[in-house]
Amino acid sequence: MLNRSPLSVVLDDIRDERRASVPYPPGETRFSLPRTRRFAQEPLEMLLESYERFGPVFTLRLLHSNVVFMLGPAANHYILVSHASDFQWREGSFRDLIGLMGDGLLTIDGDFHRRSRRIMLPAFHRDNIAASVDVIRTETERAIEQLEPGTSADLYDWTRHLAMRVAMRALFGLDPDSGRAQAIDAAGLFEEALAFYASDYLLRVFRGKRSPWGRMQVAARKLDTLIYAEIADRRASGRRGSDILSLLLDAEDEDGSRLNDRQVRDEVMTLLFAGHDTTTSTISFMFYELARQPSIAERLRAEQRTLLTDGRASAAQLLGGELPELEMVVDETLRKYPPAWVGPRRAVRDLDFEGTPIPDRAFVNYCSWASHHLPEVFAEPDRFRPERFTPEARAALPKGAYVPFGGGSRTCIGMRFGQLEVRTIATSLLAARSFELPADFTLTIRQMPTISPRQGLPVHVGVPVPSDAPPLGAVA
């Protein structure tokens, strides 16, 4: 795909659409550049409006292609679990990510995906994840020193750099303070690369050096210098650890074949992206909501004072869900702001969902962000209400209602690691600092391709004052 001209890809998309043997679901199917640009700016609003007009399955023409959207619990389960084999990821709406990730776990399908996932699963065993707590806590406490009380900071940018350091150390055994790693700003380079998805749709077609694609390639090549150098050093020295890079270098398939340098690079790039981007998003949106509702933050601190020893949570507490108030806040954050907000797919045959036909080769997307905002599933969806995730309320949710990490065979492989990282960072931040939003700050959201605060998250930094606030469960 990377060697094909964008024009030929577009023409193939048009031909596939015209060859459809069944009609597309109802929707807005005529070309409209304003619609395309509006979707880039406010997709949630557009999808919820279309859901009200057309129902859970509808079509929107975005630039040159009709795109089918399927929303709601039943649709999520259909795409992710019951009919997952009827869809492929690689040729979906995010196929340009191959230009950054290569053939990593995120961008591949079928047997190759199953084989790659099987090779990588041992690295995400519970014991390996638990061993990362000390690294995450050490890096977090180091980073908190930069948040001086009485000053202002961009908590989004702070979290991105922290999460990248954690990903380097915990996932890949890389020392972020080594000369090699210090020579580049990995977090900033990912920001530059993923800005491709914040650019105008029309500009994404071009492949020149100054185009969004060209800038993504420049950032990818700079990241490659770090990754390939580490691969070469590990192969030459034989140095190994418990990190995923060591596992990938030594992994063998049933026939004894091993991953080559390019394959290792692609998996490392994919997990560096996923290992820091989703954490950055979740922490940013969580503390945005806690700054708006400081009483919830105080109840979380009350829980920590009651349940933690010396203010620190153990790996067992963090992995076992033993901080129930924090669990509800994390779950509600992921409901309202799921980082991987949309799941792009492409149909591999003609399909039928509850009587609605979907053509072969159609672009088909599920959207956790929109599905999590359906009022018939989550009452008052725009309100931040952690108590909606009490154990009883969560058990009552319909199958497929809550899908922040996807589902089925493509459930995020790093889900447990990400949850552990978010919980560890959150407990440390809550104990050490408090945050207020500037009076004139208004949150806007961008998609690149995970959601994040468009203007960062400016905060005034303070020190928390102990209080006797009741736990969330007491006021639910």
| Structural tokens at position 422 | 């978010």
Q: Give the helix ranges, DSSP H, for 293-372.
A: 294-307, 315-319, 324-336, 368-371
Average pLDDT, the chain: 92
pTM of the predicted model as reported, rounded to 2 decimal places: 0.93
Strand stretches in 381-436, DSSP E: 434-436
Query: What are the structure tokens assigned to 363, written together?
Result: 């672009």
The verdict on domain 6-475 having CATH code 1.10.630.10 is yes
Query: 359: pLDDT confidence band, cut at 50, 70 and 90?
Result: very high
pLDDT for residue 476 is more than 60: no
Residue appearing with tokens 């080769």 = 361
Question: CA 418, CA 219: separation in Å to the nearest integer?
Answer: 24
For residue 298, the model assigns a pLDDT of 96
CA distances from 393 to 378, 385, 415 (A): 10, 12, 22
pLDDT for 471 beyond 70: no
Tens-digit pLDDT profile for residues 408-464: 999 999 899 999 999 999 999 999 999 999 999 999 999 888 999 999 999 999 999
Rounded-to-integer distance, Cα 361 and Cα 398, Å: 29
pLDDT of residue 286: 98
Burial of residue 336, with CB atoms counted within 10 A of its CB: 0-12 exposed, 13-18 middle, 19 or more buried = buried
For the ranges 205-209, 237-241, 299-303, the maximum mean pLDDT occurs at: 299-303
Distance of CA 322 to the CA centre of its chain: 24
**Bridge partners for 70 per DSSP:** 57, 366
Centroid of chain to Cα 78: 21
User: Quick one: CA dihedral 106, 108, 114, 117, positive or negative?
Assistant: negative
pLDDT on residue 382: 97
pLDDT of res. 475: 44
Q: How many residues does the chain have?
A: 476
CB of 450 closer than 8 Å to CB of 341 = yes
CA distances from 93 to 40, 183, 215, 415, 442 (A): 13, 34, 20, 23, 29
Give the integer Cα–Cα distance in Å for 6 and 10: 6
Average pLDDT on 386-408 reads 96
pLDDT for 2 beyond 70: no
Nearest to 294 by CA among 437, 442, 457: 437
419 CB-side CA count, 13 A: 26
Name the most confidently modeled range: 76-80, 233-237, 312-316: 76-80
Q: Mind listing the pLDDT tens digit for each residue in 69-117? A: 999 999 999 999 999 999 999 999 899 999 999 999 999 999 999 988 8
